[in-house]
Amino acid sequence: MRQADYYQVLGIEPEATVTQIKEAYRQQAFQYHPDRNRDNPSAAEQMKLVNEAYAVLSNPTKKREYDMLRNQFGASAYSQFRKNYSEQDIFRGSDINHIFEEMARSFGVRGFNEIFKEFYGQGYRQFEFKKPGVSARGYVFGGSFKPGRHQGPRGPRPGSLGKISRFLLEKISGVAFPEDGADIHGHLSLDPQLARSGGPYAYYLRQKSKKLIVKIPPGIRENQYIRLAAMGKKGKGGGRPGDLLLQVHIKKPLLKSIKNFLTGRKGRP
């Protein structure tokens, strides 16, 4: 799998603001838009990567997970991230379609729908419907793309409007959209030796009343995460279960703790 760094793709720093991320994307999308690069076939692949980078970094949840993997895996963070996310997952909830339409109006280039059909073929489709008091417009990726945690079509985003849109879309299209289960978050408290050398760790998952054996990778650091796939909450309607995310806390050595305690006692009046 091709390695990439989403920050380098957009030419921004990890500390970039939401506005800076969007502005960087606009510049890159205009530069690599297929209509402006008809004699440069490689521009289309770069455009796809730019779209993907923006969809991830403009979403706080996806950005936080990517940053975590980047901190833990370095240059291989991209491949680790793509193991858990398909195209459908990456673009779900993104405002990328609005930015494409802005470019189409301003520069006369093709808009979101045409470009994404060109990029993703029959796997991509757009939907739009209007009912009294409610209207919805969006897009779904069907079929199989690259390996990812989620496969198959997805419905609108969660929330009250998302539930209304989902209900109406299912009634109109006859397609039932599955809902994935939520992730479960927990903590691991490791001895320094286990954190250095790695090895098995017994963890009790209260939400499921299960005892798990977690494999600790050697050299894991404070506040890093360990992901256990499919150990989160159950999905609905055939949706995949969420994951279990365990944040690591490394215990301080006993002698150091005693020394800090005694030092604190001596400093008291």
pLDDT tens profile 138-185: 554 544 333 333 333 344 444 444 555 555 555 555 555 567 788 999
Contact 226, 212 (CB under 8 A): no
Q: Dump the DSSP string for 106-174.
A: HH----HHHHHHHHHGGGEEEEEEEETTEEEEEEEE-S--S--S--S---SPSSHHHHHHHHHHHHHH-
Residues 229-255: tens digit of each pLDDT: 889 998 876 677 888 999 999 998 765
Q: In the predicted model, is pLDDT for residue 216 greater than 90?
A: yes
The CATH number for 6-173, chosen from 1.10.150.20, 3.30.70.20, 1.25.10.10, 1.10.287.110, is 1.10.287.110
For domain 184-255, say whether CATH 1.10.940.10 is its number: no
Which pTM was predicted? Answer: 0.50
For the chain, the farthest-separated pair of C-alpha atoms sits apart, in whole angstroms, at 78
Interatomic CA distance for residues 260 and 263, integer angstroms: 5
Domain map (residue ranges) of the chain: 6-173, 184-255
